[in-house]
Structures are given as structure tokens and as C-alpha cells.
Structure 1
Amino acid sequence: MTDRPPSATDVLIVGAGIAGASLAAALAPWRRVVLAESEDAPGYHATGRSAAFWHETYGGAGVQPLTLASLETLLRPDPAFSDHGFLSSRSALTVGRTSEAAAVDAFTAEFKVRGVEIERMSGAALAARIPGLRPEWSEAAYEAACRDIDVGGLHTAYLRAARRAGASLVTRAPLRRARRAGDGWRVQLGDGEIEAAVIVNAAGAWADHVAAACGVAPVGIQPYRRTVLQVRLGAAVPAELPLVIHVGGQFYFKGESEGRVWLSPHDETPTTAHDVAPEDIDVAIAIERMQSVVDWPVAAVERKWAGLRSFAPDRLPVFGPDGHEDRFVWCAGQGGFGIQTAPAIAGLLAAQLGAPAQLGAIGRIDPVPFTPSRFA
């Protein structure tokens, strides 16, 4: 259900995926919020197509503090937000060939010094974790704390919390243009207009387009196509198979159900912001790369899809007021780690926008590395 948009609001959040929905939930108890989505329903693009997991090392050392600070909300949310958590057990193995031992060593050391619970593994211990592992894949870093995320459940909970706190959700309402008017903005939203004191750009792959429509300089958010498929195997592989990621970033796969896995060639094909679809070549590459690691025959490709991941030039999230226009706020560039960092980013950004700063562990994160002004 979508609301009738009001004529004015304190904060207009453009984009109702996980970034916009989480911020709306954090901010709505304290400010008037309109959450605007250009599609027929929220979360159609990146959020709705995510095979997300909470993986502390995913995204690199710069993202890790945001991931760790989000854990408590995902694992044990406030009962007023949800009566259950959003994580289920998985574990993860970052793997390499024998020739990639030094890369696995460096990966393990980089995160161990940051306090991540990560264990070096090799040889028979690794083979016992992955049935059918080919012998040249002998090196790994093991993370027991990796978990799957119920993305749909989390996104729905954020939207529900935002609505309960008074936020309005408007769908089929793209931001067409905006101009400064007094202390705020006059915005053409879909076929109507709205006045907003602040615009938050949570438009994902469309973030630079939204900035341009507001007369704000883009920061270089680049969309990339990512392919995922579900295959049925001709071999018995347990559903509790760990998340298996290549240390060089060429693939990941994980058990989905008995004899089925999700896999990706970890592709990042630069593209324009649009409704992407998987390419046959990327599906074939995904299968080839998985079968270079394990001896599992593929009986059928049961599902395949593609989504958009969007990154800033330095691959760190971008959130906070624009360096030149303080009433235009960014919440973008969250790549493939936007789900696992959403609680921390929403909490930090809501505090910057006037919500009481009751942040706990989130409050210990230095927001400076993520400010849009770094691109000024």
C-alpha cells in the first residue's frame, strides 16, 4: 500500500530499498519523513535480488566496522522492531589454490589484527568442510560467525517500523527534478510536487542521476551487474555447506537446500542504471568456476537472476551531507554489503539528521571516511 504524499515534509528520502527503508525507520520517530520509490514496490532492484549474508570480512577492512556494529540489531533486534532475529547460521571459507597461500595468509592477518574471529585452515581440515574439493584448492581462512540474512524479512520490518512511526511511503514516484526554495527544496515527485527541508539520496545505482536532477554534482557512483544462479546438483551436497569465496574474488557459492547451491562468478560488469538481466556467458562462467573447485556435476540451472551493485570510486559507502549543498544528503555506494551494514549506516545518518544519538557501539564509528566531501 502506498500513501498519498503530503505537500511538505522535513526529510524526503529518495529510494525505498534497504538504505532508504532503514533510514526512514530510524528517523521517522523524530522528523516528518516521506519515503519515495520510483518502482511499483520498494526493493525491486538491488535489495530484492540480494543473496545476502552477514560476513564480517566482506567489503574489506574499511567496511568491517559498519558490519560489526550492525550485528546486534540483525541478531537480537529490539522487540518493538521485531520479535525475532534476521540471521541464521552459515560459516564461511575464503579459499585459494596452493599457489595462493600467501594471499590467504595476508587476508587472515589483515582481519585478525582487527579482532575478527578468523582461523587459518588448510589441507585435510579444509577438505573435510567441502565435499568433493579438488586437491589444488588447499588453502583457506575460516570464519565461524558468518550467517545468512533474511533480506525480505529485514526490509519488511524496516518499512513497517517507518510507517508505524508516521513515515509516508509513496511508490511510482521518481524524483524528476528539484530546485532550492528558501531553506529547502521544491521537488517534482512523480506527477506531483512536494516541499522538503532536506533530500536524502538513497537511490542506489541511480544516486548520481538523482543528484544531477537536484543540481548537485555527482560523486561517481558506478553501477555494476552481478549474476547469481541456483543450480541442482547431481551429487549429495549438504544445505549447511559454508559460504565459499575465492580469495581473489572470482566466485562464491553456498548451500541452499539438500543438493542445491547458489553461486555467482562474482562478476562486476560496469553498466548503466536499469533493470538488468543475467547474461548466458556469466551463467556459464559461474558454473565453470565452481566446477574448477569441486567435482560436483550440475544437473540443472533452476533459477538465474542479476542485480545492480553500486560503488563509489574508493568502494566505501557514501553517507552524510553533500560537500557543497548541506540540505542534500547522500546514502549511497553500498555495493554488495548494503544489507549487512544498513543498521549502522541508518543509525549514524539519522543522528546527523536530528535523531537522538543513542547509538551504542555504532557511535564509536568514525564517520569521516564515509563523508561525501572526500570527493569534493
Structure 2
Amino acid sequence: MIRFESVAAFDEALRSLPATDAQACEAAASRQAMLTKPARSLGRLEEIAIFMAGWQQRERPRIERGRAVVFAGNHGVVAQGISAFPASVTAQMVANFERGGAAINALAANAGLTLHVVPLDLDHPTEDFTSAPAMSEAECLHALIAGAAAIGDADLLVLGEMGIGNSTAAAALAAASFGGEGRDWVGPGTGVDGAGVSRKAAVVDAGLSCHGSSLDTPFEILRRLGGREIVAIAGAVIAARHARVPVVLDGFIASAAVAPLARAVPEIVDHLIAGHCSAEPGHQRLLDRLNLRPLLSLDMRLGEGSGAAVAVGVIRAALAAHDGMATFAEAGIGGG
């Protein structure tokens, strides 16, 4: 397992990424060409099957140990009045996850995923990033380690989050990674009104101004502007890549966790699937910058990994067709 024991270890893990298995991709593509259908008639389902084959390193991939992980963290920047809910709701929602009463519980079960909830020091919010780094170096490394540890033995990983205030942190990460001002990236999040959105934009701009030229590496962007749950997603993404586990990202916040990584190492997205495009205004723009095309667009903006869990149904359909269809030869049909 990848261990982020130092900033240097984090940098090395990010810059030594394994590639997909080209031979497995070729074998899967050859199988697709022999199945009883016109070429490319299943569209993105064919692409998904080949993608999964490359990362699972087998011609006929399967999802046997699908895992959804929801990381939870609290944010000191909530003190700036950027959320419709108090920070105490994070712990309350974690309890709801553990009781089985949240949307992600139902959606993960429906998708055949085991659900793991990882609360990260909820009693100690990050610092308010408008006046100080959100985390110390040690705190950021601890969150990365927690993310890496959570991937377990998954053969498909769904990543989600819970954290009041984290859409503001996500907007700050997107702006620091890909440019623009707060107003280019913020949205209603948990449901704030127009004045609340304006406050969020001002808070993002204040954070960018506070940290300025220090936002020069992926690690510094994450630790200065992120949250523990967001950093844990980044750690899980890197660890999954080294384990060759394909990852389905959820919405704006999960995607923002990848933004600082992708700014420095664009190929980090090669093992990622964008499960959906959320209704949060900055998400499509962020997906464009990440060069990820979402599977679904259902006007969802819940978080929790909910949109990604729904997308797993599409991925299972792609693999079912790839594995279960007959070839032209098997079916005794000419023209294959």
C-alpha cells in the first residue's frame, strides 16, 4: 500500500503512476469487434469495458469487490457564513450513514457496493483558510494516509464526501489549480441564496490572496485550501492508481480533490470515471479542465458519492454486455 509518510513520498507517488495494460485493452477491443452487434453500436458502453479491462488487466473485467467510501471532515471556514447548515450537521450525517438512513446507503446497496464511512477528526475542524493554512503538513499527510488505507481490496472504487462548507473549499481548490476567481467556481452548495453565493466567492478570493505564491505545488494547494475529507479523496485516488483500481468520482467536491494533482500530473485522471455532472455550476467547467466526460447528468448535487453510485449501474451494464454477449462465430452469424 502507498504510504504518504512525507511530502517527498507524496510527490514521488504522484509522479510514478503506472499506466493501463495496453495488451488487455487490445484484447478487450478485439472481443468487442467480434460480438454480435454493429461496430461501436454500444457507444460508451464499449469504451467503459475496454477501460475496465486495461486497469483490471484482463480481457473480461468484472466488479466483484465494488466499494464506496465516504470521507467526512469539518471546515473552519464555515465561520465565514458560507453554509446554510452548521458544522454539527457533518457528524449528524455520519451517524445517519452508520444507521443506514442516507441516500448513499440505498444507492450503494442498489449498485452492489459495500459502503465504508471514514470520519476524519470531526471534533477538530480545519483552520479558516482565509487567514491560515487549513492544515499543518502533518495533518495533511494524515488525511492522505487515511484515504490510501480506505481502498482495501476493491476492484472498483466509488469516492464521495460529507463536510459542511466543503463546496467553498472545493471552489478554492479549483481556482488555485486552474485559475479564475471565486465567482467563477462557487455555487449554492447546500442551498445558500444569492447573497450566500457572493459571500462564498469573497471567501475564496480571500483564501487565494492569503496564500498567494505558496499555492505552487499540489500538496500545498491541498493543505492550505482543502479539508481532511477532500485530501483523503486525493490520497485514495493516488493509492488506487498504484493498485490499478479504477475509480468513479462523484460530484464537484470529489472532482476538486483531483484538481491540484491534475494541474501537475494530467495523466492522474487516466484511471478515473466521472460518474455524473452535478448541478453545482462549477462542476462541468472543472470536468472540462480535467478532460473527463461524465456518464450521467441527473441534476444531482447531494454529494456522499450518490451520483457515482448511480453510475456504477451503467458500468455494470457495460461489463455485462462485454462478457455475456455471444461472438458472431459462437452465434453462427456471418459477417463478424
Per the normalisation by structure 2, the TM-score is: 0.30
TM-score (structure 1 length as normaliser)? 0.28
Please identify the structure whose Cα radius of gyration is greater: 1
Greater share of helix? 2
Query: Greater strand share, 1 or 2?
Result: 1
